[in-house]
Amino acid sequence: MPEHVDTTRRSLLKATAAAGGLLATGGLAYGLRVRAEGRDYQPERVIDVLSRVDRLGPDDQAPNIVLIVADDLGYGDLSCYGSTAIETPHLDGLAAQGARLTGFYACAPLCSPSRAALMSGRYSIRTHVTVPLYPTASPHDFFLRMIGARRYGVTGIPADEVLLPELLQARGYRTGLLGKWHLGDRSPSLPNENGFDLFFGAYYSNSTQPYAIYRNGEVEIPSPADQDTLTQRLTAEALAFITENQARPFFLTYATPFPHAPLHASEEARGKSAGGLYGDVVQEIDWSAGKILEALDALDLGWNTIVIFTSDNGPWWEGSPGGMRGRKNLPFEGGYRVPCLVRWPGMTSPGRVLSGLSANFDILPTLLAAAGIPEPHDRAIDGRDMRPLLTGEVDRLHETFYYYKWHRLLGVRHGDWKYMRRHWTDNGGYPTLSQGPFLFNLETDPSESYSMIDSEPAIAAELGAMLDAWDEAIDHNVRGWTTP
């Protein structure tokens, strides 16, 4: 190649690179500005909301609360929900003493968004936590940023979200989180900064490395933590927390890191189920829940303690979605529908089975009402008080429920009808090809096997319009702020 041609080519490449760099820099600056504006952070709101919570007086009565959240437990993984491979006698007993919900949803088919919804009482889209969180600058975090999954660069629960433990703490509850947090590993998104007096656990899923166990802000069990004995260790911490705080109202969130993969169980639990190691793990969770229930009764606290057991989303590689279509990370029922057991003396009748639609963002307004705390007045709370459902006053809490996959709205359930936009589905042969739209009747077709899109076009159009209207409302005010 002649020298002048080669020189011209090099100059052209340099000029192109320089122009690309300027465009990238400008694009980055523009993107940062859009992100900052789109976040719409207003942390001063928290002070106003918490200032409206009256502290418990010496003569005030308030129930204790134990919230147990499993990680990736499927709808069909408990024997009281139909499992024949896994035996869960303690959780079955909890169901027999209280209510078993069969129409209960996680608000996302993934860990962090579901937990954000549970703790805030809001659809996760409002919190900006719409994808799983990973350690900052980790390969997973970098990948999610590169593909635009973190629309506003959020890496932890925003400081302007008012969470359930913050409100209970302001009321005078002693609050504790054991197990998995998964809502951020840096200030101001740490558990102790968001209402928990005690944190003993990990910031992320048990598959994330390095995996260390923290006590509040300090590492207590360095990475790699021994996960085989973790359920036993967390159970001991739960019993200690209950015992130490028996004389005052307490709120314990026991967010077990299992049965999320990798699977770990103690030597005592291994080989005991017909469901393999996965079943052993679930049965050890059942043992752990049994120990907590036993401690409550031994301390004469059961009569004044609300106990809720649920899962953050459907099962992943193993586990049963209970015959429903889909699993974790899919917008079909198997990714969203999860077990929920509620024992609330004086509120739930023994053995009640409730099929009406409810969701994990309903837990916040329910527990606030139980504790005598007003709901945050300055933001949309999507959840509703579950007490009318638990007592049989109503047969469902919601007529409508929206299905998000990351930050994209994919579907809506209205009554028994479910409409889904065209999207990547669970088609194994062509996983990257979009399918749909679909229209399912969940009453006659709970496995979402037969689309009624052609035979019921009017219903599909109505539900499609509901999706468009919801999208427009969220775009107009994504944070759901209602007052200055």
Supply the residues annotated as catalytic: 111, 182
**198, β-bridge pairs:** 176
The 3-state secondary structure of the chain, one letter per residue: CCHHHHHHHHHHHHHHHHHHHHHHHHHHHHHHHHHHHHHCCCCHHHHHHHHCCCCCCCCCCCCEEEEEEECCCCCCCCHHHCCCCCCCHHHHHHHHHCEEECCEECCCCCHHHHHHHHHHCCCHHHHCCCCCCCCCCCHHHHHHHHCCCCCCCCCCCCCCCCCHHHHHHHHCCEEEEEEECCCCCCCCCCHHHCCCCEEEEECCCCCCCCCCEEECCEEEECCCCCCCCHHHHHHHHHHHHHHHCCCCCEEEEEECCCCCCCCCCCCCCCCCCCCHHHHHHHHHHHHHHHHHHHHHHHCCCHHHEEEEEEECCCCCCCCCCCCCCCCCCCCCHHHHECCEEEECCCCCCCCEEECCCEEHHHHHHHHHHHHCCCCCCCECCCCCCCHHHHHCCCCCCCCEEEEEECCEEEEEEECCEEEECCEECCCCCCCCCEECCEEEECCCCCCCCCCCCCCCHHHHHHHHHHHHHHHHHHHHCCCCECCC
Contact call for residues 313 and 277 (beta carbons, < 8 A): no
User: What residue has token string 């998964």?
Assistant: 182
User: What residue has token string 């959020």?
Assistant: 154
Which phi and psi (to 5°) does residue 103 adopt? Answer: -120, 35
User: What residue has token string 């499993």?
Assistant: 70
* Dihedral sign of CA atoms 173, 177, 183, 187 in order: positive
Q: Which of 407, 91, 444, 57 is nearest to 254 (CA)?
A: 91
Q: Which two tokens stand for residue 276?
A: 């393999």
Query: Distance of alpha carbon 406 from its chain centroid, rounded?
Result: 12
Contact call for residues 393 and 385 (beta carbons, < 8 A): no
